[in-house]
Amino acid sequence: MAKPKIMLVDDNITNLSVGKNVLSDKYEVFTIPSGEKLLKILGKITPDLILLDIDMPDMNGYDIIKILKENKDTVSIPVIFLTGQSDTESELEGLSRGAIDYIIKPFSPPLLLKRLEAHLLIEEQKRELKNFNDNLQNMVDAKTKTVYELQSAVLETVAELVESRDDITGGHISRTQSYLYELIHGMICEKVYIDDMKHWDVDRVIQSAQLHDVGKIYISDLVLNKPGKLTDEEFEIMKSHAAKGVEAIEKIEMNTTEKEFLRHAKLFAGTHHEKWNGTGYPYKLKEFDIPLQGRAMAVADVYDALVSERPYKKGFPHEKAVDIIVEGRGSHFDPLIVDVFVKVADKFRGVGEAFRLEQERLTAEMESEKKAKAGDIVPVWIYEATGKKPPVA
């Protein structure tokens, strides 16, 4: 086992020789005649402890320890002052500069060895505690990541369940989440409402937006999937999905301690159909009474509705959709958010194109599967669960 490294710094050659004789049996000792040489050596060797004389010419012990404590590479090296000054003021000064002990010269060799042994043990225990805390933090981070991934999977499944009931607006949840990502990051870059978002975990907030249409799960299929324009009565039913979404999320809140994530989800669900001029629904909120989540989602939600094809309408070109949103600046939409939208509009176009290409790929795969020979195929995981081998094809 390697001996601990001790650096003994003193301008007196006799003191260096005596100190080395006392310490060499237990420690690897580096005798250093000045502070300047100590600083040069520290660039190559890191000691376990430094014994530092205070009274040295050119650079005294106080000057040296100040440099050591200001350098991130040497700040944690323990320093013990060696000095012939025995007054309380000098000792207090040394300890206040960051030294862990203060030993009066001439020192007793057995006492010096005991003091070193005690301090090195403390330092070793501090390192072990730090390693334990680091490992514990890594374990917590890993567990948190696992829980986060599970929450994400459940959330995506719920969002897909909602979307699977709405044949008309398929892919809307994923697309609006991507549009919202570009919009919020654009707002951050432009420093728009930056104070409102300073405490946000932005990625989690954007993820929570997947639940903005969760209230549609309560809407009748006859209304939700009507292949045509809704009547006034049917539209009122459809509008209720915003308040119904809030109710659904509040039920989830009652059974979990995860409040922050659901708070954002509830704001997205309940306020994304509010309008800047107060004519939206369900609460008829106006301007800054509308939470930022709802004001941002309104832009992403309407853009997707405009560019998407419906049984009763063709999708508008990107440029036309941008013009319509700009026309709604200050009436339907928050003016500052519309200004950011205009700056990131090309990214919205890119998101829409990426989803279109992906949808074409998936459609082609589905058509290919339909053409493949159909048969009663038992999933492999069923055989794995029973311990049986699947039949050879």
What is the DSSP secondary structure assignment for residue 38, as one 8-state letter? H
Query: Residue range 25-40: average pLDDT?
Result: 93
Share of the chain above pLDDT 90, in %: 46
pLDDT interval class at 392 (50, 70, 90): low
Domain count, the chain: 2
Measured in whole angstroms, the distance separating CA 310 from the mean position of its chain's CA atoms is 37
Q: Using an 8 Å Cβ cutoff, are 207 and 175 in contact?
A: no
Q: What is the pLDDT of residues 221-263, one digit of tens each?
A: 788 777 778 888 998 999 999 999 999 888 888 877 767 888 9
**Amino acid identity, residue 96?**
S
What is d(CA 180, CA 209) in angstroms, rounded to the nearest whole number? 8
What is d(CA 61, CA 52) in angstroms, rounded to the nearest whole number? 6
What is d(CA 209, CA 269) in angstroms, rounded to the nearest whole number? 8
**Amino acid identity, residue 51?**
L
What is d(CA 104, CA 84) in angstroms, rounded to the nearest whole number? 5
CATH code of the domain in which 73 resides? 3.40.50.2300
| Structural domain includes residue 302 | yes
pLDDT at 372 over 60: no
330 lies in the same domain as 186? yes
pLDDT interval class at 204 (50, 70, 90): confident
Provide the Cα torsion 336, 341, 342, 345; round to 10°.
Answer: 180
Residue 339, pLDDT score: 97
User: In a 3-state reduction of DSSP, which class is residue 102?
Assistant: strand
* Length in residues, the chain: 393
Q: Note the helical H segments in the chain.
A: 13-23, 35-42, 61-70, 88-96, 109-164, 172-189, 202-208, 221-224, 232-239, 241-253, 259-271, 292-307, 318-327, 335-371, 380-386
309 lies in the same domain as 181? yes
Exposure class string for 162-189: b at 16+ Cβ within 10 A, else e: bbeebeebebbbbbbbbbbbbbbebbbe
124 lies in the same domain as 40? yes
- Domain boundary (133, 155, 174) is at 133
Residue 26, pLDDT score: 92
CATH code of the domain in which 303 resides? 1.10.3210.10
291 lies in the same domain as 342? yes
pLDDT interval class at 124 (50, 70, 90): confident
pLDDT at 304 over 70: yes
Q: Note the helical H segments in 45-108.
A: 61-70, 88-96
The arrangement of strands across the sheet holding 79-83 comes to: 28-32, 5-9, 49-53, 79-83, 101-104
Mean pLDDT of the chain: 85
Q: What is the pLDDT of residues 39-78, one digit of tens each?
A: 999 989 999 999 999 988 888 999 999 999 999 999 999 9
192 lies in the same domain as 322? yes
* Residue 37: φ, ψ to 5°: -70, -35
322: its two tokens: 């941008």
338 lies in the same domain as 192? yes
Highest mean pLDDT among 298-312, 335-349, 363-377: 335-349
| Structural domain includes residue 145 | no
**Amino acid identity, residue 19?**
G
Structural domain boundaries enclosing 334: 165-371
| Structural domain includes residue 75 | yes
128 lies in the same domain as 169? no
Token match 């200001």: residue? 70
220 lies in the same domain as 311? yes
31: its two tokens: 């005798």
Residue 160, pLDDT score: 64
Query: Residue range 267-281: average pLDDT?
Result: 96
Token match 């301008």: residue? 11
CA distances from residue 137 to 53, 127, 152, 333 in whole angstroms, order as listed:
39, 15, 22, 43
pLDDT at 166 over 70: no
Q: What is the pLDDT of residues 125-165, one digit of tens each?
A: 888 888 888 787 777 777 766 666 656 666 666 666 666 55
Query: Residue range 88-111: average pLDDT?
Result: 83
233 lies in the same domain as 334? yes
Residue 284: count of CB within 10 angstroms of its CB: 12
374 vs 101, which has greater pLDDT? 101
245: its two tokens: 């979404």
Residue 371, pLDDT score: 61
pLDDT at 211 over 70: yes
pLDDT at 274 over 70: yes
Residue 369, pLDDT score: 66
**Range name among 35-39, 250-254, 318-322 with the lowest pLDDT average:** 250-254
- Domain boundary (133, 157, 188) is at 133
Q: Using an 8 Å Cβ cutoff, are 242 and 272 in contact?
A: yes
pTM above 0.85, yes or no: no
Token match 């039913």: residue? 237
Residue 260, pLDDT score: 83
314 lies in the same domain as 258? yes
